[in-house]
A and B are shown apart, each in its own frame.
Chain A
Amino acid sequence: MGNLEAMKPFPDSEEMEISFGPQHPATHGVLRVMVKLDGERIVDAKPVIGYLHRGTEKIFERETYNGAIPHTDRMDYTAAATNNQGLVGAVEKMMGITVPPRAAYIRMILAELQRIASHTIWLGTHALDIGAQSPFFYTFEEREKILDLYEEYCGARLTLNAMRVGGQPYDLPEGWSGRCRTFIDQFPARIAEWERLLTTNRIWKLRTVGVGVISAENAVEWGLTGPPLRGSGVKWDIRKVFPYDHYDDIDFEIPIGGNGDTYDRYLVRMEEMRQSVRIVQQCLARLPEGPVMAKVPKVIKPPKGELYFSVEGPKGELGYYVVSEGGANPYRLHVRPACFINLQALPEMVRGQLVADLIAVIGTLDIVLGEIDR
């Protein structure tokens, strides 16, 4: 992909090769896209990745299972809670630990708040990429409130490290659920505000409807998950199809789109935020009393074997493939990152469209380079 041959200019053709990134205002970190342009039209686009590679999966191998959790925070750094949830879920499943119900509900609250926080970043930056500046500030205001809740719970705002194998490290602080409810109750009004600014905006629709279209068949073949898959009309959500924690007790809908374009993915994510609000409300109402930590050995040693476990992250299916030799460290811990696999469809989605659409599509895929490069 990134070899020198591919980067050579084409002196004989009228096409222009241009390198978007890794330092570019709209590539969401250090993504680099080698774009071949015919005027403003995209002939081909190749994502070049690896600028943020830290060897996370190799680091996992020398960490204990609980020690690996902080490293998951740093993969998709906009969604630390769901990253934690996937890893602890995998190890618990391997060891056959049942998490106390209170801990599971706290996890669901944290994860859904994280989904909202991640989607607010997505909306802000996506709108900014398309040229609307103000939503960025409105969405970040709401995200701050979520981060305040996190800070109160576990002391961290971004890299939470908020879950442990067997349960939760802390119970909810005094009055936390009340403050969480205050936030959750006012949040749908804010979504409506953002939608008033964008959903029926002529320019917004011009820029998103019919842009970056991917059909349901193609989306499945590319292995897309999360909103990019649901935007194409495939009703697939890990929380429904392989429920974990207590998602099967909760009543919520899976929003889907029909056309598989940027606008549908936008609508899907907006609706997902509303559904997350519903889930948090139900979790807060049902929050059982009791311990937050199951009886687990001091040193986590899953039995010899291998296992794949995935959760529905804000960006898509986030899977952990754990291979254990029975020791305190994983023999191999592979991550199935949602962003990495979603990003692969980028060339397919932008070919033949305009430069401005490339930016819109990068935004709508909602990628985080920390997770792509790991």
Chain B
Amino acid sequence: MEPVDLARASFLFLPLVLLGLLVFPGRPVLRLLLAVVAAAIVALVLPLWLPRGILTYLASFSTMAGIYAILSLGLNSQWGLTGHVNFGVAGFFAVGAFTSALFTTKMPEGALAAYSQQAFGLEWPFLAGVLMAGIIAAFVGFLISIPVLRLRTDFLAIATLGIAEVIRFIFQNERWLANGPQPMRGIPRPLDCLFADPACSWLPARVANWLAPLSPRDYVFFYLVVVALIVAVVYLALERIARSPWGRMQRAVRDEENSAAMNGKNVTLRRIESFVVGSFIMGVAGAVYAHYVVSIDYSHFNPLFATFIVWVMLMLGGSGNNKGAILGAFAVWAVWSGAAFVIDMASPALRAISADLPSRGAYLRWMLVAILLGGIVLFRPQGILRERKKVSDFLPKDE
């Protein structure tokens, strides 16, 4: 095994452990043991088995799927937990992405300032940017929730769809805020000096040597670790919340709003809380996305990529089930990415139908996702994984 592959394998280890913990059944200690052993084996085997290019693709695929998993978890905390129909995921995603970008980038100076404008640039570290993204998105969610959450489900769906559009319009048209219609570039990637030559100065020599064979192209392996950790944190937090008294109350509000209200629960406040929690998570997802793609503009946050597909993910995986939210994100993203290959391969056939069709292949993927959602709604509205009605750890399971 060459040093390059070994170094790449070392980055794969942690995400694989987390994946193992998620899928293996059994008691915690046993699970951990199983997950570590399995992750070690897979992390070593994958680089030997797969060509380097494919492995890099797999890492970047998992990174994007992981970002969608965060979004899908955020949506689940609103829809699955409290029954809010938020058709404006894209808005909160965008707020998170641009917030983190503003907090972590440098204010453009000199000649650059003529081309690139932004409200401010604080050069804060990555994690601070992510946190601010969550906070600002949560704040936006809070502002919106006051007038809107009293409403019927259908009005909420329409209103949130509108909010996302308005947010996108703002980022599209307000040049001073985040460079308007032009992309906001140069969003820093956390610790990208790990992959530079020479590596970060503070790095111990042994680690630097270990990483030396890697090029900046391999950065995605590190970012996969970051994304996996954030997904894990969000997942654990949501699972804890779901089992807490607060989570039980949320489900009570969702299923039996009137009786929850009659039991003295402040229903409106509960609904606002869960909406804010979901907005926070979506904001975090936005930040993670921004630091991954480095350059963002309003068009990234259109309803298809950032709202519709997330709903498909959650519906497919299973509303109300956090594992399902993650599973759905990976499955739909796999369909979406896989469709690109298939359509690419089918392009001669498409050309035979119409000369324009191969260049419009991307829209076939849209269609595929739309059909997927239609199919889910018609044939399996509960998704792959059903909601587990877990009331408390101290009660036996009801299944």
User: Are A and B bound to each other?
Assistant: no
- Interfacial residues, chain B to chain A (CB-CB below 8 A): none
- Interfacial residues, chain A to chain B (CB-CB below 8 A): none
